[in-house]
Each structure stands twice: as structure tokens, then as C-alpha cells.
Amino acid sequence: MSGLEALLLGLLQGLTEFIPVSSSGHLVIVKDLFGIETKDASFEIIVHTATVLSTVIVFRKELWGMVSDTVRFRRTEATGLTLRILFSAIPVLIVGLFFKDKIESLFTGGQAIVGWMLLLTAALLGISQWLSVRRQGST
């Protein structure tokens, strides 16, 4: 992968991370469309790590407050959020440990599965929007 290709894919990752689309799925599609090859999921890990790092930098004050309240055992909304984030990470870690090879294979091919998963995500977002509007209308 050339430096320009890495830059373009990094920009794609950054632009699609915080909107309700799959940034990983779009990386797979664009790599396939332009014939960009990577040996493993290292590039995806790097761009996702960069996304996390930039998010931590932007929200450092809020995150510091959350961590501070949690380690001081203060019962605040921030502590509750911190604990929910930590507990929600447990299933991801377990799946990542047991299905690492399967997950990596999704990044090296299988554009069809990516397309189906993007359609599934769109359907779930549409259903949740529909349910939200329906609930608001009944109150």
C-alpha cells in the first residue's frame, strides 16, 4: 500500500467513524474497488487506534472527569457511564479472543458479507427510527 493510498483510507476512516455507517465496511469496499491490498488487519487496527486517540484528545477533560469520579468511587452519572462502557467491552474482548482469525478474514476479502452487513445495519437503524417515532406518537 502506498502512502497516498494509506492517506486516502485514513481520511475515509476519519470521515465515516462518527456517522451511523460502518467505517470498517467502507474501508473493505474502497480497498476492493481500488485494488489496494493489505496482508492482515494491521492497517485497520492502526486507523482505528488513531481514531480512538483523536477522540481521547478532543474529549480529554470529560474523560478525565469520568475516570476521576470512578477511581474515587463517587456515585455520579459519569461513574455509571464509565462502568457501563467497561462492562460492554467484555463481550467484545471475548469475541475478539475466540474469533480473531474469522474477524481478520472479513478485512481481507468477502465484499459480499460486508454488503449484507451494511444492509443489515441500515435495516436496524431504520427499525429503531421507526420505533422511536412510534413511541413518541403514543405518549
Model pLDDT for residues 22-66, shown as the tens digit of each residue:
777 778 888 888 888 877 677 888 888 888 899 899 999 988 988
The reply to whether 116 falls in a domain is no
Question: How many Å apart are CA 93 and CA 112, to the nearest integer?
Answer: 26
Question: How many Å apart are CA 13 and CA 108, to the nearest integer?
Answer: 16
Question: How many Å apart are CA 5 and CA 11, to the nearest integer?
Answer: 10
> H or E element: which one contains 87?
helix 77-98
pTM of the model: 0.62
Residue 21 has pLDDT above 80, yes or no: no
Q: Specify the number of domains making up the chain.
A: 1
CA quadruple 56, 42, 3, 13: dihedral sign: negative
Domain holding 60, by residue range, is: 3-110
pLDDT of residue 60: 92
The reply to whether 48 falls in a domain is yes
For the chain, report the end-to-end CA distance as a whole number of angstroms: 54
State residue 50 phi and psi, 5-degree precision. -65, -40
